[in-house]
Structures are given as C-alpha cells and as structure tokens.
Amino acid sequence: MMASVVVGGNRKKSLTLRGVDPETCMIVFKNHWAQVVKILEKHEPGRSGTGALSFLSGHGSSSGALRLGPIPADEASAVQNYVEHMLFLLMEEEAGQGGAMGPILEFVVLEGVMERLFLWSLRRQFTEDMKLEQLRMYQMLLSQARQPLLHHKPVLRPLMMLLASCAGPGTDSGGVVEAELVLLLNQLCVALVKDPSVLELFFHTSEDQGAANFLLFSLLIPYTHRQGSVGQQARDALLLIMSLSASDPRVAQHIAENTYFCPVLATGLSGLYSSLPARLQVYSEDWHCLDQADWQQVPALVHFLHSLDFCSAVTKVAHPSIRSQLLGYIYNGFLVPVLAPALHKLTVEEVMTTTAYLDLFLRSIPEPALLQTFLSFILLHTHDNVHILDTLVSRVNTPFQLGTVSLALFRTLIGLFCEDVMLQLVFRYLIPCRHLSRKQFCSLKQRDCYSSSAASFLLLMPSWCPGNLHNTNTHSEHIHWPKGADLSVSDSVGYCRGSDFLMDVNYLHYLWDARQAISTSHRACQLWSAPYDGINPLPQEYRSDTPGDDIEDEEEIVPRAKSDSISSLVVTPPPLTLSPTLSSSDTISTGNQAGRASSALELEWDDIFADDDLSLSGVLSTTFANGSMTMDVDRCTSTPAPPLPPRHIQEMRRTATKLVHGSYVEESEFQDDVLVYNLVAQTDTKAAILERIMAANRRARGSISNGQRVSTTTTTTTIATMLTTTGRTVMETVNSIMSTRRWSEDAGKEERRWSDDYGQKVRRRSEDCGKELWRRKEEGEDEIRRMCAQGEPKGRQFFTNGFNAKHHIIDECDDTDEANKPFKQNCNHGDLITTVKHKHTPHQQHIHHNTQHPMPQSMKNTLPNGHSESEPRDPLVSATAAKSPNLPGNNVTNKDDFLSRYHKLMLSLGVEPDCDDITDDISTFRKRVRELRQKLEEEEEGLDEELVYSSLWDDREEEGEEEVMEEEEEEGEGEERRSGSKKGSRRHGVPFTGPFISVLLSRLENLLENSIAVNLLVTGILAQLASYPQPLLRSFLLSTDTHNLPNVRTLYQVLVSVNAQIERYVAARPEYPALVTQAWRFLLAKDQDSKFRECLQPQGGDIILDPSLPNGSVRNALALPPLSVLPPCPPIPPQAKSRVFAIVLYAEFLKELAAIAQEHSIALDCSSEE
C-alpha cells in the first residue's frame, strides 16, 4: 500500500535531509520519476489529459473499460517505492527565493507528476484501498509540505479529480474512505481560510469540470448531519467555508444559489426530528423539562442538538444571504411543516414531548438570529388559524404533565428577556392601560417609597406561620438605630430579631436575589424599543395602531374583557371541521347555505357586542343550524376576505377558533375555565347565583313532564361551554377519546389532583351557566321553537358530530364526578359548594341520557374504518355514567361507602413519588374503577326517579326526528346562552389583561392542589415577571391596591384568595400548623445549609462536597455542619405532602414578592423614571 508505505516508510530514510544538497535531492527525484514513468508508460494507452477527464466523467465504468490488463505486482510495488521517496523529497523541499517554487515542485508541476500518479492509480484497480492511498498521500502533502502546493493547478487538479472520484455513493465499505476524505476536505478548508487566494483556483478548477462547481463544498454537504467525528470534522470544515463566505460574496452567492446547503441543513433538522422519540418515558410527575442529564441519554436528541447547534453556528458566521436563506428554510422546512404539526399531535404525551423538545431547543440556541426564527414561529405562525403561542398558553392550564412542561417552556421564554415575546404575552394587553383606574394610571411611575406593597404581601402570611411567631408585643414597630447622640456608645446597627433567625436571613436572601434579578432584567431590557411605562408606547397609539380600531368608544372596551371571551366561546358553533369521513354530498349540498351562514357568522362577530336585538337571533339561529358546515366552508373555500374587522373582533375570533380547534379536550376545557375565571371571581354574588341555579333546577325538573325542553335547556347549558370548546371532527374526537384513555392509563396518579381541579371548575362553570341560563330562559324557549322549525337535515349531521364531542366530555366528567366527591368532603369547602355540587349533578344526569344513545350510532356512521376499540367501552361508560348517583338523595346515601372506597383506591395508587411500577398499578386501578362503577350501577338500579328519567329519555330517543329536535333545542340553548352572556359581558366590561396572565393566576389560585413542580414553576415565572423593570408590568403584578377596576384580577387578589383557602383548609385541620412549621423549618435549614455549602465550595473545591470522602479527611475540618444538624424532615403523610409544601411555598412566595417590591422601590436604574 502506497500510503502505508509512505507513512511507515521513514524507517528507510534517515529523516536527515537537512544539509543535503537540494541539487542532489532534485537529481534523486528525477531519477525516481524516470523509473516510475517507464513503468507507467508501459501500461498507459496514451498520455493525454482527456484521458484523465474521461476517467472522471464516469469513473466507475470507464476506469474498468480502460483497464488494459492486470499490472504485475512487482511493478506496482516498485512504483510505490519510488513515489514514496519522491513524496518525501517533495515535502521536505523548501520554497525558493521570494516564495518561488522549489525545483522539485517545479518539476512536479511541469511534468504533471501528481496527475499521472492519479491516473496510474486509476489504471490499476481503483479500489477503496487505492483511494485511501491517494487520500492519505494528499493529506500528508498538505499537512507537511513546506511550500504551498495548492496554488498549482497540476497539483490541485488531480486532487480535485480524486475528491470527485471518492464522492461516489455506496462505494465505501465501513466508511474508511469517507473518514479520510472528510479529513482531507477539512485540511483543504483550513488551507483555504489561511490563504483565501487558493479559493480562486478552487473555483477555476471546478469550472473545468463543468457542473461540479465548488466541489470542496459540495462534497462536504452530505456529511452535514453525520454523527461522530466524521460529521464533526465535516461541520467544522463547512463552518470554515461559512466564515469565508462572510468575507467573500462570491462564495456566499455560490452557496446560496448553486448548492443545496441550506435546504439540506433544514430538511436534515426535519429528518433528525422525526427520529426523535415521539413520547418520552417520564418517571416523575415533577419532571418538567429536558435538562442535560435527560437529553444526553437520548442519542437521537444529542444528534439533533448537534445539528441545531451547527445551524446556529452557520447563522452566526455565514454571509447574510446564506443566513437568511437558511433561516427561511428552517422556518418553512422544519418549523412549519414538522414542528407545528408535532405540537398539535393527538395524544397528550406526544404534545408534551414536543413541548419539552421546543423548550430544549429554545434553551440550546445561542444565536439570536436563529432564536428569532424560532420565536417568530411561536409568536406569529398560525396552525389551523391559531397562533402557536395561544395554543401553548392554553396548555398551561392543562392539569397533566403537559401543563407543567408548558409552564417550563414559558419560564424559558420569559427568561429570554425578549421584547417581542413579552409584547405578545403580556404587554399588548397592558399597553392600553384599561386595567388601570385613573388614579392607578397616574401613579404608574411612582415608587412605592414606604414598602406598602411589601407589607401587604407579607400580611398575607397565614396567621399561624412561623414568620408570625415573632414576638409582636414589642414596644414599637420601629427600627432601633442608634441616634446621633448614641453613636459613640453603640457601634452597630441592630434589628429586632425574633427567634426564627433563618426566616430573617432567608428574607435577606430574597432581597439580594430580587436585587440581582431586577438589575439583570433591567440590563437585559435596555435593548428594548420602549419602556412600557404607560406613556411609551402611548395607550391611544396602540389602539389606533389597528385599522378600524379608532371608532372604539368605551363600549368597545368590552371586547377585551374576559367574560366576553366567554361569550365568544359560546357563540361558536361546536364542530368546526368536518370529518374527512363525512360524505361529500352533504358538504356540497350545504355549500350555498354555508356561504350565507358564514357571512352571517361574520355579522355575528361584529354585532355580538351590539345591542342584543332579538331580530339578530334569527340570523344567528340560521348560523347555528348549519353550524358545522359553515365554518368548514369558510375555511376551505377561503372566500375573498371581507374588510378586516376591528382588532378586538379579530382577536376574539381567533380565540374562539382556537378553542374550537383545540386539539385537546382538556386543553380547551381548561382554557375555557380561564375565561370563566372572572365571572367566578365574583364571589359576593355567589349566593344569588346559587339561588338562581336552584330555581332553574327546580323549574327544569318540573317542566320535564310538559316536554323536555327546559330540562334539555338546563343540560345543555351546563355543558355548553365544554361543548363549544371541544368542537372537532369525529376522527379527532375518537382519537382524543383514545388518547384520554391512554392518558388515564399513564396518569392514574394525577387523576386525583386533576379531578379535584376539574371539579372546582365544573362547579364554577355550572354556576356561571346557571346564572346566564336563568336570565335568558324565556327568550331561549322562544328561540328554540323557532329553531325547531328551521333546523332540518343538516342539523342532524351536525349533531352527530356534536354528540361525539359531547360524549367525550361526559366520559371525562364522569370520572371527575366520582373523583370529585371525596375531595369536596375533604376540602370542607362548605355548604355552598356541596349544594352547588348537588344542583349540578342533575344536569349531568341529563347529559348522560342525552348522549348515551346517539353516540354509538354516530360512531358507526362516521367511522367505518373502525376505531372499534373505543366502541365497546363507551356505551358501558355512558351507561355507568347515566346511572351514577346524580340525585342529591342518592348521593348522600352512597357517599360514605363510595368515599371510603375511593379513598382506599387513591391510597393504593399512592401519592408516592416513586412510580416506576405505574403500569402495574394502572391495571389494578382500572379494574377497581370498573368494579366501582359496576357497584354503583347496581346500587343505582333501584332508584325510581332515575328510572323515570331514563325511560323518559329512552322513549323519546326511539324517534330519530325527535332526537334531532332535541338537539336543535340544545343549539337554541347555546343561542340563548350567547345572548345571555352577551348581556352579562356588557355588564362586566372587563379590561382583559391577557390569557397568559390569566392562566398563570388561575394556576396560582390552585396552589393547594397543584403539584410541587407546578407551584415552583408558577411562582418562579411570576417572580421573574415581577422582576421586569417595565412599570406597566411591575405595577400590575406588585400593586396591592384593592381599589381595582371591577374584574381586574391582580396577583394580589389571587394571593388573598389563596390565603383564604389556606386558612379555611387549615382551620379544619388542627395538626396542620405544626406540620407546616416543621416542614418549613426543615426546608429553610436545608436551604441555608446548601447555601452555606455553596459559599464554601469555591474555597474547598468540589471535593469538599464529595460524600465519599472519609469523615476524618482534612477538608471536613472546614467545619461544614454535618447533615445531622438539620432538623429532621417531619413525617408528613404522603397525601398531605404537596399541600404542606404548597403552604410553605406560598409563604415563601410572599416574601419573594415583598422583596422584589422593596427592591423595585429602591432600584436606581429605572430608566423610565429618568
């Protein structure tokens, strides 16, 4: 082997050419060459350059054709020997005077030595080994030659030919050639960067080969996404060329226009992404993001990150034209077609996984330009007409791990200090300052000189908290600094300190951290375009920013209101998209009508805030009758866009569309809940609401005998919100049913928490609904009648879809319902809730009946391709659901039994964090649930009233026509609700502070029920938001002003409400204060300990913390308090753990906020104030 001989050939040479006369070397070289030529010529058909080129043009076949016959081995090895010597001489030769070629090089160039050698290697069998020889030969020459060789075409040309011939696909076995090839390419790139003048030659040489342009570069492209050192080398080499492109427009132009570099990079990302695990095995429910330890275990992820990193590096160093091309491809070739659908996959785990990936990507991208691409994807791209950002925000409120992961994603986003992100998430809702009263607006820029916010926050500390253990019977509340006269006496400043030393120290830490956070934020935000201080951007300007917005009067504030969003929710016809399995004739036949309807819908959007004129309802009901078609056609045919409606309308429409399109039942449900939030917040009217609900209920039941209209009404209203938010195709529905199922398998542990959560929401919703319902009932009945007359066959199609969606919800409701009861009792939320609960259940009962029967039909109709596995289950579930204990009386009798069993069940599932065996448990769990259901079923069987209801509904249901009618009624009810909420929203004219803040606050309000991870994330995000220096945000989050505009929900209000929850909760549990205090002390001590260790670390190095060190080691002499000094972790019952910690966290969060407020008040660098 030539190369190996070359490499190992030094043994023959004494490496001491120094001192040897160059003349002699030249003579030796020439002699050798003469010998070589003799052999070459013997086997060469003719010496011509065209020969070489023809080799290249199709080296595979032509080299075979040209072979004249086998070359004797002795001749081959003779050539090898000579060449070896010659190369050595060439490498060792010094450049001539003034950079001229040395004589040997000159000879090589003149004689075309390299080219002839290349041809010779072709002449022999051009095997992999031969390629290796040649490649290594050039590697050696390049790395060791003392004079530049690449400037000379006779050297460069055969090199290029060699490279081209090595590039052939599939010739390589084991990748050895590839490795050598890439190494050589890398060397060449290094040479290029060192001496850009060579570039010229590379291009020219390439031109000789016609299409093969910038060969060097083209050869590297296939290795872009290669793993391992070969890939790394190739990427390094490519980066070298990229940096070259920044200074050489020709290279840039070539790469951008003549190569597939950018598409390859972007599609490579897509390819690598597709090989990522679609679902991550997550072992802990506290898990919320992929940290390094996580992703390093997933090779595919490591690989992807490398490529992403490469893209990032390219955007950093490459010429702007390449950069923008690459970013464009990444946007249009990866983000939009790959990541967007991945974010909308059908199972919660998949979406959760995608979200975690997105979070990881955002954290791994160091280059602003690439980050911008990702961010603009998140902020501006719409998937199914919904902005990705909105979808992500809505997911924060999902009770599953998806919610936790989404929170982590937002923590990342918030941590970027990106104005664009913050603008979309928060500021655009705050800029108009509608959430501020006049007084508040005026004091926007004032500092809170006397720490009154901090004091208010700290006053929310639960009364029995350790923080309050301070002796309060002090003589005065004032600090006792020595006064002027005393100064000589006392030399120090003192505080009054209570016994809880750690508490105080810990507060100082919060102050310090707050100071850091604020100054970090401040510095990071110096780049921003505006201070967001209520003056810049101008509140009015923002409003006139959008066309058609200027006509807004105070009435128009309404659209931004949360409750209005609710109304928008309700307005939207449930199933937006048609299932692909629907017969096309249906669609076509309704086409015209749909067109009309869609315009009616437009109207509706615009007029929804106009006076609730009844004449409008006619239009609306038409819309509804065609509901499903309408939207579909609307989207498919993309009718010429009408003049843009005002911004708020657009926004509302978007929200509604989003909700309807929401891929997840959970998502939309909880999203919806956020919007209900404000209405619910009006606790003072609760009693009244309750009254109404009860009245409505009584009436509903009473009217059943007359005809089922009213009861249907009640039913519908109860679930109307859910229904409308879950509109979806049949396929989607079924899929999500399945996914829910899968979810329930995986999330057994979460179930309890979730259902608690959910229960509350259902309660709220029902309150809400009840309220609206009552108001609009009579009107609604009229509506219904009218609609019954109008609604015809299309309605049926529509409702079939509707049923599925509904059924799904009910399915979940059912679980929730069961889960709910123990919670209610546990939580001791008081009579009100229980009553509401009871009132609520009859509604559900109706739902069950309502949907039970149509469901299987529609399944069969629309899903011939058989998702059969969901069918057997669903009737069962519905049946169970239908017979679940709905009537108050039954509830009472069954509750205890049920409760205790449920408790057992939950305990058996454990709130234990170790959940490796979750899959084992799941089957047990499911079995138990089934048993439970069966038992319940049996128990319900004898309930007369129940039976009456059932039979009633069963009878009706035999007749298809009637069924449709009923559904019409339901729609009418939706209608009714719409107008109802319209009125409501007007009343509540709510300045909307944006979904993100709402969602955060709503999660915060659930503090007691959240997992520790969620609470940490929520409080962490809020604290970081509060550290932002912009007065608009700062004042909104930190203001403890209780004179807020109606329905402005502030952080402080939520904290007050959580405080009340805690006090209530603890009041019923005398053991809690001690438990919490113990846990608190433990956590503080632990925290202090770790801080202490941190402090010592720089001195002692890492080793100091090494637990493996023997106790007697010197380093331990540094007096680290041994862990045993810490108070023991109190024995907290596992089921209480998250609540106990939540309470501790709550108190600590108050301190954190107080500290942030205090530090804001003394921040020097509030640019806005200068």
Partner 1 sequence: YLQSFFWSDSCYVSHTNQQRSDNEEQGGHGEQRSSPARLSFGKKQLPPIPKNAAPITKPASTGTPTQSANGTHASYGPFYLEYSLLAEFTLVIKQKLPGIYVQPSYKSALMWFGVIFIRHGLYQDGVFKFTVYIPDNYPDGECPKLVFDIPVFHPLVDPVSGELDVRRAFTKWRRNHNHIWQVLMYARTIFYKINTTEPLNPEAAVLYEKDVHLFKSKVVDSVKLCNSHLFDQPKIDDPYAISFSPWNPAVHEEAKERMFTYKRRPEDHHKGTQVSGLSWVKPGSTQPFSKDDGSPQS
Residues numbered 377-396 forming contacts with partner 1, rule: CB under 8 A: 377, 379-380
Q: Tell me the window of 516-524, 859-867, 1003-1011, 1131-1139 that interacts with partner 1 (CB under 8 A).
A: 516-524
CB of 1005 to partner 1, least distance (A): 22
- What residues from 109 to 168 belong to the interface with partner 1 (CB under 8 A)? none
- What is the number of other CB atoms lying within 10 angstroms of the CB of residue 893? 14
Task: Please identify which residue in 73, 551, 1095, 1123 interacts with partner 1, judged by CB under 8 A.
Answer: 1095
The nearer residue to partner 1, 237 or 418, going by C-beta atoms, is: 418
CB of 161 to partner 1, least distance (A): 38
CB of 288 to partner 1, least distance (A): 22
CB of 978 to partner 1, least distance (A): 31
Q: Tell me the window of 130-138, 487-495, 852-860, 927-935 that interacts with partner 1 (CB under 8 A).
A: 487-495
The three-state (H, E, C) secondary structure of 266-323, written as one string: HHHHHHHHHCCCCCCCCCCCCCCCCCHHHHCCCHHHHHHHHHHHHHHHHHHHCCHHHH
Cα(958)–Cα(964) distance, integer angstroms: 11
Cα(232)–Cα(228) distance, integer angstroms: 6
Cα(1079)–Cα(1068) distance, integer angstroms: 19
Those residues whose C-beta lies under 8 Å from the C-beta of residue 363, and which sit 6 or more positions away, are 412
The answer to whether the CB of 290 falls within 8 A of the CB of 214 is: no
Task: Please identify which residue in 62, 227, 364, 519 interacts with partner 1, judged by CB under 8 A.
Answer: 519
Task: Please identify which residue in 26, 109, 140, 496 interacts with partner 1, judged by CB under 8 A.
Answer: 496
Q: Compute the Cα dihedral for 777, 778, 780, 785 and give only its sign.
A: positive
Those residues whose C-beta lies under 8 Å from the C-beta of residue 705, and which sit 6 or more positions away, are none
Q: Tell me the window of 239-247, 411-419, 680-688, 981-989 that interacts with partner 1 (CB under 8 A).
A: 411-419
Task: Please identify which residue in 525, 674, 704, 1048 interacts with partner 1, judged by CB under 8 A.
Answer: 525
- What residues from 676 to 695 belong to the interface with partner 1 (CB under 8 A)? none
- What is the number of other CB atoms lying within 10 angstroms of the CB of residue 506? 20
Task: Please identify which residue in 291, 959, 1091, 1109 interacts with partner 1, judged by CB under 8 A.
Answer: 1091
The nearer residue to partner 1, 270 or 790, going by C-beta atoms, is: 270
- What is the number of other CB atoms lying within 10 angstroms of the CB of residue 35? 15
The nearer residue to partner 1, 353 or 412, going by C-beta atoms, is: 412
CB of 1116 to partner 1, least distance (A): 22
520 lies in the binding site for partner 1 (CB under 8 A): yes
DSSP per-residue letters across 196-242? THHHHHHHHHHHHTGGG-SHHHHHHGGGTT--HHHHHHHHHHHHHHH
497 lies in the binding site for partner 1 (CB under 8 A): yes
Cα(1019)–Cα(1152) distance, integer angstroms: 9
Residue positions counted in the chain: 1170
328 lies in the binding site for partner 1 (CB under 8 A): yes
CB of 436 to partner 1, least distance (A): 17
- What is the number of other CB atoms lying within 10 angstroms of the CB of residue 65? 10
CA dihedral 842, 845, 850, 854 (to 10 degrees): 170
CB of 642 to partner 1, least distance (A): 22
- What residues from 449 to 478 belong to the interface with partner 1 (CB under 8 A)? 449-451, 454-455, 458-459, 461, 463-465, 467-478
CB of 80 to partner 1, least distance (A): 53
CB of 543 to partner 1, least distance (A): 10
Task: Please identify which residue in 324, 682, 1053, 1135 interacts with partner 1, judged by CB under 8 A.
Answer: 324
CB of 1162 to partner 1, least distance (A): 4
Number of chain residues interacting with partner 1 (CB under 8 A): 106
Task: Please identify which residue in 9, 498, 856, 1100 interacts with partner 1, judged by CB under 8 A.
Answer: 498
The nearer residue to partner 1, 380 or 1109, going by C-beta atoms, is: 380
CB of 577 to partner 1, least distance (A): 25
Q: Is 106 left (phi over 0), alpha (psi -120 to 50) or beta?
A: alpha
Task: Please identify which residue in 73, 211, 293, 479 interacts with partner 1, judged by CB under 8 A.
Answer: 479
CA dihedral 130, 134, 137, 141 (to 10 degrees): 180
- What residues from 886 to 915 belong to the interface with partner 1 (CB under 8 A)? none
Residue with tokens 């039941």: 701
Cα(625)–Cα(623) distance, integer angstroms: 5
Cα(401)–Cα(61) distance, integer angstroms: 59
Task: Please identify which residue in 278, 508, 789, 948 interacts with partner 1, judged by CB under 8 A.
Answer: 508
**Which residue type is seen at 528?**
W
The nearer residue to partner 1, 1095 or 1114, going by C-beta atoms, is: 1095
- What residues from 425 to 454 belong to the interface with partner 1 (CB under 8 A)? 427-428, 431, 447-451, 454
CB of 638 to partner 1, least distance (A): 20
- What residues from 582 to 611 belong to the interface with partner 1 (CB under 8 A)? none
Which tokens is 910 given? Answer: 């454990």
| Per-residue burial over 271-293, b = 16 or more CB atoms within 10 Å of its CB, e = otherwise | ebbeebeebbebeebbbbbbeee
Task: Please identify which residue in 44, 286, 945, 1169 interacts with partner 1, judged by CB under 8 A.
Answer: 1169
Residue with tokens 């680290």: 1120
Of the chain, the end-to-end C-alpha distance in Å amounts to 77
Q: Tell me the window of 170-178, 330-338, 861-869, 1109-1117 that interacts with partner 1 (CB under 8 A).
A: 330-338
CB of 378 to partner 1, least distance (A): 10
Question: Per-residue string for binding with partner 1, 534-553, x by CB under 8 A?
Answer: ---x---xx--x--------
372 lies in the binding site for partner 1 (CB under 8 A): yes
Q: Tell me the window of 43-51, 62-70, 364-372, 1119-1127 that interacts with partner 1 (CB under 8 A).
A: 364-372
The nearer residue to partner 1, 297 or 516, going by C-beta atoms, is: 516
The nearer residue to partner 1, 1095 or 1123, going by C-beta atoms, is: 1095
512 lies in the binding site for partner 1 (CB under 8 A): yes
Q: Tell me the window of 12-20, 246-254, 498-506, 935-943 that interacts with partner 1 (CB under 8 A).
A: 498-506
Which of these, 69, 72, 86, 88, lies nearest to 10 by C-alpha position? 88
- What residues from 1137 to 1166 belong to the interface with partner 1 (CB under 8 A)? 1154, 1158, 1161-1165
- What is the number of other CB atoms lying within 10 angstroms of the CB of residue 492? 6
Q: Tell me the window of 338-346, 348-356, 502-510, 993-1001 that interacts with partner 1 (CB under 8 A).
A: 502-510
The nearer residue to partner 1, 283 or 501, going by C-beta atoms, is: 501
Which tokens is 1107 given? Answer: 């637990």
**Which residue type is seen at 168?**
G
**Which residue type is seen at 577?**
T
The answer to whether the CB of 609 falls within 8 A of the CB of 763 is: no
DSSP 8-state class, residue 641 = P
Cα(782)–Cα(972) distance, integer angstroms: 9
Does residue 859 sit in helix, strand or coil?
Answer: helix
The answer to whether the CB of 711 falls within 8 A of the CB of 703 is: yes
Cα(665)–Cα(670) distance, integer angstroms: 8
- What residues from 1002 to 1031 belong to the interface with partner 1 (CB under 8 A)? none
Task: Please identify which residue in 44, 128, 236, 419 interacts with partner 1, judged by CB under 8 A.
Answer: 419
CA distances from 462 to 465, 797, 841, 1058, 1073 (A): 5, 55, 34, 10, 9
Maximum Cα interatomic distance, the chain, rounded to a whole number of Å: 121
CA dihedral 248, 254, 259, 261 (to 10 degrees): 20
The nearer residue to partner 1, 202 or 377, going by C-beta atoms, is: 377
Cα(932)–Cα(926) distance, integer angstroms: 9
Task: Please identify which residue in 523, 698, 860, 873 interacts with partner 1, judged by CB under 8 A.
Answer: 523
